[in-house]
């Protein structure tokens, strides 16, 4: 055992708390100790003061401390001890029981420790800040009521704090970080990273391996991840950019902004806006009561929402969109587009596959569809233009208008009630016509060879026939024209 010839203080205490600002220190003492590191780990048990740990290439542990107290007798009673053995070096401070009968008493201290870079470290502190730099072995840092600064490490690290910030830079191994009521800022981690926090912000940049973040009541920023990433948050925004692997985000009551994900992305959010761009693989979104905007998706897109609009653009594969009580806009989809919604408008354009829409109480407008179009809605109009395949529309209490068909023969079936139907046919092409209405008229400026006709019904052929044209309504007119 290494023995210091006089016991001295390393610590900080304020009784009452206001004494820091109103009492000048009247006692100050400094201490110094060196011991040889024989193996094991370095353990520091400290409280009420700042702790600074640095490393060296030697095999000694150096301890320096400074005590300041408003009462000399109190300062002399505080104890500081350093012991070493094959199991490691222990640095510990102890404090007397303080009984104050009127007046204010305060004492404070700083602790500076230099350890071999290869020595594992366990550090526990309270009511003071911690700075650690240059470790080349695993460590565990536990602090409370003070900030932690941790830089330039190698090996597995565990860092825990409460009521104080955590700052980490250049961590060379797997790192676990836990905090509460204090922000976390991390830059440059070479190993896997796990972060948990609450009631404060989390920021992570330049992590080469997998990242997992769990937070609440604070924002999350994650940038430049070399592997997969998972983020769970609530009551705070989430911003994610540049993830080389797959991404999974779950949030509540906070906006989500995601950009540049090379793998697939799964995003769940509620009661806030979700914005996603440049996902190189498949995208899945589940949102409630929040707007969704997604653009430049390299794979398929599967998006669910409610009570807010959804806008999806530039999807390399098929897209499936489900919503209620919110509008849907989809453009530049290079696969099949499926839409299922209620009480919202639907607008689709430049769809390179087929279009399939189920809606009610909302209009549907579609333009430039490379495949077929199937639309089912009610109590709103349907406008289709530039369809390159079969057209099948079923509506109730809403008008139907079809124009600019890309083929000379598109099988067409249009049905509605209490609303008109209007269709403009290509200049050439043959159709077998069946048109039916009640309490309305059938009007055409296209020559039709009539095979059967009554007041509200018409059967016949246009051109040489051959392509189905089935039009049916009630309490509405039917109009057939040429482009």
Q: What pLDDT does 275 receive?
A: 98
Q: What CA–CA distance (Å, rounded) separates 132 from 148?
A: 8
Q: What pLDDT does 1 receive?
A: 31
Q: Say if residues 310 and 292 touch (Cβ distance below 8 Å).
A: yes
Residues 6+ apart with CB under 8 A from 455: none
**pLDDT class of 100 with cuts at 50, 70, 90:** low
Q: What pLDDT does 429 receive?
A: 82
Break the chain into its structural domains and give their ranges. Answer: 1-128, 354-483
81-85, 136-140, 158-162, 357-361: the lowest-pLDDT one: 81-85
Q: Say if residues 232 and 252 touch (Cβ distance below 8 Å).
A: no
pTM of the predicted model as reported, rounded to 2 decimal places = 0.89
Going from the C-alpha of 231 to that of each of 182, 216, 237, 381, 388, the distances in angstroms are 18, 11, 11, 42, 43
Q: Ranked by mean pLDDT, which of 81-85, 235-239, 407-411 comes out on top?
A: 235-239
Q: Say if residues 414 and 399 touch (Cβ distance below 8 Å).
A: no
SS3 assignment, position 469: strand
10-24, 154-168, 192-206, 330-344: the lowest-pLDDT one: 10-24
**pLDDT class of 367 with cuts at 50, 70, 90:** very high
Angle in degrees, CA 39, 41, 42, rounded to 5: 115
Q: In the predicted model, what is the mean pLDDT of the chain?
A: 92
Q: Per-residue pLDDT tens for 257-286?
A: 999 999 999 999 999 999 999 999 999 999
Above pLDDT 70, what percent of the chain? 94
**pLDDT class of 16 with cuts at 50, 70, 90:** very low
Q: Per-residue pLDDT tens for 168-179?
A: 999 999 999 999
Q: Per-residue pLDDT tens for 209-255?
A: 999 999 999 999 999 999 999 999 999 999 999 999 999 999 999 99
Q: What CA–CA distance (Å, rounded) separates 164 from 159?
A: 12
Q: What pLDDT does 102 receive?
A: 54
pLDDT, average across residues 81-91 = 94
Q: Say if residues 276 and 267 touch (Cβ distance below 8 Å).
A: yes
């Amino acid at each position: 055992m290494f023995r210091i010839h006089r016991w001295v203080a390393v610590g900080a205490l304020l009784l009452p708390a206001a004494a820091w600002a109103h009492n000048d220190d009247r006692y100050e003492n400094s201490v110094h100790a060196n011991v040889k590191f024989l193996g094991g780990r370095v353990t520091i048990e400290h409280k009420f003061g700042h702790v600074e740990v640095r490393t060296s290439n030697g095999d000694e542990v150096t301890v320096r401390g400074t005590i300041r107290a408003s009462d000399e007798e109190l300062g002399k009673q505080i104890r500081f001890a350093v012991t070493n053995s094959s199991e490691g070096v222990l640095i510990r401070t102890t404090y007397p029981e303080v009984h104050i009968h009127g007046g204010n008493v305060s004492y404070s201290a700083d602790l500076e420790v230099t350890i071999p870079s290869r020595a594992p470290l366990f550090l526990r502190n309270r009511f003071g800040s911690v700075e650690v730099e240059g470790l080349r072995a695993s460590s565990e840092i536990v602090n409370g009521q003070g900030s932690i600064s941790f830089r330039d490490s190698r090996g597995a690290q565990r860092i825990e704090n409460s009521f104080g910030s955590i700052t980490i830079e250049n961590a060379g191994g797997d790192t676990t970080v836990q905090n509460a009521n204090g922000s976390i800022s991390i830059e440059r981690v070479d190993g896997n990273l796990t972060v948990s926090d609450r009631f404060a912000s989390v920021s992570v940049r330049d992590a080469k391996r997998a990242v997992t973040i769990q937070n609440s009541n604070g924002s999350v920023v994650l940038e430049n991840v070399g592997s997969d990433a998972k983020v769970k948050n609530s009551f705070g925004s989430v911003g994610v950019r540049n993830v080389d692997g797959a991404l999974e985000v779950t949030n509540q009551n906070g906006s989500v902004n995601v950009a540049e994900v090379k793998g697939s992305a799964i995003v769940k959010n509620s009661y806030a806006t979700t914005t996603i761009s440049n996902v190189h693989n498949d995208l899945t979104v589940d949102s409630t009561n929040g707007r969704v905007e997604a653009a430049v998706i390299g794979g398929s897109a599967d998006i669910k929402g409610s009570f807010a609009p959804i806008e999806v653009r530039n999807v390399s594969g098929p897209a499936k969109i489900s919503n209620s009580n919110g509008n849907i806009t989809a453009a530049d989809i290079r696969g099949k587009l499926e839409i299922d919604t209620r009480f919202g408008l639907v607008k689709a354009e430049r769809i390179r596959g087929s279009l399939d829409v189920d809606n009610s109480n909302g209009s549907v407008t579609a333009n430039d569809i490379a495949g077929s179009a199937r639309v089912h809605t009610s109590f709103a109009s349907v406008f289709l233009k530039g369809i390159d395949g079969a057209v099948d529309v079923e509506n109730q209490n809403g008008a139907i208008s079809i124009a600019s068909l890309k083929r000379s023969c598109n099988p067409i079936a249009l049905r509605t009630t209490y609303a008109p139907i209007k269709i403009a046919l290509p200049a050439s092409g043959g159709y077998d016509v069946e048109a039916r209405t009640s309490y309305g008229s059938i009007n055409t400026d296209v020559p039709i060879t009539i095979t059967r006709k009554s007041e509200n019904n018409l059967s016949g052929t246009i051109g040489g026939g051959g392509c189905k044209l089935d039009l049916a309504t009630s309490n509405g007119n039917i109009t057939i024209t040429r482009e």
